[in-house]
Structure 1
Amino acid sequence: MSSATYRTLLRIPGAAAFFLTATTGRPGIAMSSLGIMWLVHDRTGSYAVAGLVTGGFAVAEALSGPQLARLIDRIGQTRVLPPVLLAHATAVVTLLTLVESGSPHGLTTAAGVLAGATLPQLGALSAARWSALLQGGRAAALPTAFALESLGNGLCYLAGPALVTTVGASGDPAHGMAPATALVMGGGLAPATRRRTAPPAAGASERRGAGRSLRRPGFAVQVGVNFGLGLYFGSILGLYLGSMKVSLAAFGVERGAADTAAPLYMVSNCAGLPAGWLYGLRRWRVAPQVQLAMVSAGPALSCRLPLLAVGSFLGTGLVLAVTGMTVPPILALVHTRFSPPGSSGI
């Protein structure tokens, strides 16, 4: 195995430009919700209000993401991204203005909803470009490309929250939203100007085929795997099902060392980076669906395993490291096996 595989991908004309710029914008996406939480809490003194605005942002992002992706598939990335990014920047400025002026919570929440609804999913757009670029004789390189995407996501979602927390803690929390929005704008506008690697707009027959694909078993598998990962990393429902974040917090509190939860969580995330890198460098002979079933068993078992079978912090860290190594291959496999070529679907 050699890193030349990744170098070869990035040497394809136009590939490095869209991948690196989209990756530059992804920390901004990871920073946005936490930045809103810091900002609103600082101005209102209420975690309830901050949670309401941040929750509105997150729900709107989740609901509008597939609709934006459908619009992008129909019209094209280069035509849709500029107005969407402008709307997002306007929504963020409106949110900042309303928070600073002490406006009613309903208006502030509405601005948060608008900011979330106009947030482009740069990772999905980059993956769609890889799918369009690596067709025909290049299709065998798609797993490597999606492993590279997974690695980029992992790095960005480690750096983003740390960056916005550092900026917010060192001065005015409002300053955390400025780099977040700037990164999203820069990471989105750069690919919008690069038409050569943009997937072509889908025709009527392709749109009808995409609608039928929602009823296929592959789409249900993709939804189920991503839903499971969401529970694993800690959602509201995950509180009741033993998500990893909640389990780690309980593990630390039970042993009188609550501050160990964050380092243990970091171990899990950091272990996935080299695993994702190495996964993309190897040509696997096992069928993708078999690989997915095998690696998905790790997160499914680990939510309870650190508490039930491991009694030391070192042992918990080792279990989490092994588990974290499975996440990038899962994401790469889901894209490779079940995503339609050139689609921006989220």
Structure 2
Amino acid sequence: MPSANYRSLLRAPGAAAFFLPASLGRVGVAMTSLSIVWLVHGHTGSFATAGLVSGSFAVTDALVAPQLARLVDRFGQTRVLPPALLAHAAAVAVLVALVTVDASDALLALGGALTGATVPQLAAMSAARWAALLRTGRAAELPTAFALESISNAVGYLVGPVLVSVLAAAGRPAAGTVLAAALSVGGGLALAAQRGSAPPPAAASAVPAGEDRSLLRAPVLVLMGLNLGIGVFFGAMQVSVTAFVVEHGAPGAAAPIFAVSSCSGVLAGWLYGLRRRRVALPVQLLVASSVLTLGTLLLLPAGSAFGLGLVMVLTGATIQPLLVLFSVLTESTVHPAVLTQAFSWLGSASAAGTAAAAAAAGWAIDAVGARGGFALAAVAAGTMTLQSLAGLRLLRAPKRGLTPADPAAG
């Protein structure tokens, strides 16, 4: 059956025991930002204040995540994760309390910042566990494992916002924030309890002399640039699609269009993970980014919401394979001692691109309409293609322990 590869992965010793809790926890992580918007707006009636608090959350999440990942790499997931989860639960409780007592905007922003600074990096930790589990003897299955991770992440960002919106519509915005924290902390604690699959701590003294653990290397910088580009794409598309359907008198079409694009991505990611390709990973990256560029250019002449939705099936189907390739190339490029940090830095780059693009796309849309936002997305995709072209040589060299014949080596 087509799903045999995924079943065999989850049957690996300890795999399901860490993957399922991490998947549950990332639903909570996916809920958190939107739940803060509903929580703050529900009590203050101000979207400006809600945006301020949510923005504070996003900034500290992006800045602190790699530092938390550094501690995880050095001391291990089972030692760092429990206190980090306790801090996150306390930060959410503080934020809810501040909102309840009608605290000032500055204090609310501080509460949002504390919440963002303590978000558990469950996706990076789960990916690092797959790498540790499969690196020896089963490295060829890493693309499939990272495809499973990508699917889990996509599903989390489909289900999480829906749960938040349902609770908010029922007049219980605080319940959405509390549920998000409960899922994040509960899933994280269950993940931390799985000690057997956790990557061993990589203290500096344990690394043999001559092995390069630096992240400031050309291949990593290329991957960070690609993640920044896809973040810009995400941020521009979120605003531009909304503006497009409003311009065409079909505001209700936004949700179906986003849903179709997301489902297309989940299906493409699932299918991508089922096959092992002989084509080098950097070449796959170039092809996928080129297809994304073509699809984004096709958005510019779209004349209806239906036409836009058809094109977004193509762009959505390209996203998940790209994310899988980013993960596999990262694992094959950086030293295992800094792998969680690398995943977190790439996530921060994507988040930074999304935040910057949302503002830039809004300016472009005000100036020339929705196509201005799509043009920004096209520029981001085109830049990714150029970066992928430059990375053909930089990303081709296999990491220590991988052979050129190994699919994970690219």
TM-score, with structure 1 as normaliser: 0.93
1:107-164 CA distance string (max 9 Å, x none): 2211111111011111110000000010221111100000000010011101100111
1:24-50 CA distance string (max 9 Å, x none): 111111110111111111111111111
1:334 equivalent to 2:326? Answer yes
Task: Verify the 8 A CA contact 1:247 1:304 in the aligned structure 2.
Answer: no
**Which amino acid letter does the alignment assign opposite residue 292 of structure 1?**
L
CA distance in 1, matches of 2:212, 2:59: 23
Deviating more after overlay: 139-148 vs 164-173: 164-173
| Structure 1 residue 273, shift from structure 2 partner | 0.9
1:311 equivalent to 2:303? Answer yes
CA distance in 2, matches of 1:55, 1:106: 12
Q: Which runs of 5+ in 2 are unaligned?
A: 345-410
Task: Verify the 8 A CA contact 1:244 1:302 in the aligned structure 2.
Answer: no
| Structure 1 residue 318, shift from structure 2 partner | 1.8
CA distance in 2, matches of 1:145, 1:80: 24
Structure-2 residue corresponding to 1:163: 163
| Structure 1 residue 315, shift from structure 2 partner | 2.7
1:151-195 CA distance string (max 9 Å, x none): 100111011001111011112211111110010011100111111
Structure-2 residue corresponding to 1:219: 220
Structure-2 residue corresponding to 1:122: 122
Residue identity (%): 56
**Which amino acid letter does the alignment assign opposite residue 8 of structure 2?**
T
Deviating more after overlay: 244-253 vs 2-11: 244-253
CA distance in 2, matches of 1:255, 1:174: 35
Equivalent of 1:290 in 283, 291, 307: 283
Structure-1 residue corresponding to 2:172: 172
- Mark the CA change 1:318 to 1:269 in structure 2 (over 3 Å): closer, same or farther: same
| Structure 1 residue 198, shift from structure 2 partner | 0.2
CA distance in 2, matches of 1:210, 1:69: 20
Structure-2 residue corresponding to 1:239: none
Structure-2 residue corresponding to 1:253: 246
**Which amino acid letter does the alignment assign opposite residue 117 of structure 1?**
A
Q: How does 1:232-243 map to 2 (within 5 A)?
A: 232-234=233-235, 243=236
| Structure 1 residue 248, shift from structure 2 partner | 1.6
| Structure 1 residue 310, shift from structure 2 partner | 2.7
Task: Verify the 8 A CA contact 2:295 2:314 in the aligned structure 1.
Answer: no
Structure-1 residue corresponding to 2:63: 63
Deviating more after overlay: 210-219 vs 89-98: 210-219
Structure-1 residue corresponding to 2:113: 113
Task: Verify the 8 A CA contact 2:53 2:109 in the aligned structure 1.
Answer: yes
Instruction: Name the SS for the 2:103 alignment partner.
Output: coil
1:50-75 CA distance string (max 9 Å, x none): 11111101100000000000000000
CA distance in 2, matches of 1:56, 1:78: 28
CA distance in 2, matches of 1:103, 1:312: 45
CA distance in 2, matches of 1:329, 1:267: 17
1:288-332 CA distance string (max 9 Å, x none): 0111111122333444532x2333333322211111111111111
- Mark the CA change 1:179 to 1:267 in structure 2 (over 3 Å): closer, same or farther: same
| Structure 1 residue 207, shift from structure 2 partner | 10
1:21 equivalent to 2:21? Answer yes
- Mark the CA change 1:104 to 1:218 in structure 2 (over 3 Å): closer, same or farther: same
| Structure 1 residue 257, shift from structure 2 partner | 1.5
Task: Verify the 8 A CA contact 1:74 1:207 in the aligned structure 2.
Answer: no
- Mark the CA change 1:25 to 1:210 in structure 2 (over 3 Å): closer, same or farther: farther
- Mark the CA change 1:61 to 1:211 in structure 2 (over 3 Å): closer, same or farther: farther
Task: Verify the 8 A CA contact 2:147 2:324 in the aligned structure 1.
Answer: yes
Task: Verify the 8 A CA contact 1:247 1:303 in the aligned structure 2.
Answer: no
The CA RMSD over aligned residues, in Å, is 1.8
Structure-1 residue corresponding to 2:54: 54
Instruction: Name the SS for the 1:326 alignment partner.
Output: helix
TM-score, with structure 2 as normaliser: 0.79
CA distance in 1, matches of 2:305, 2:113: 40
- Mark the CA change 1:121 to 1:184 in structure 2 (over 3 Å): closer, same or farther: same
Size of the aligned set, in residue pairs, is 337
- Mark the CA change 1:331 to 1:262 in structure 2 (over 3 Å): closer, same or farther: same
Structure-1 residue corresponding to 2:312: 320
CA distance in 2, matches of 1:153, 1:69: 18
Instruction: Name the SS for the 2:340 alignment partner.
Output: coil
| Structure 1 residue 258, shift from structure 2 partner | 2.4
CA distance in 2, matches of 1:115, 1:208: 39
1:277 equivalent to 2:267? Answer no
Q: Which runs of 5+ in 1 are unaligned?
A: 235-242
CA distance in 1, matches of 2:152, 2:117: 23
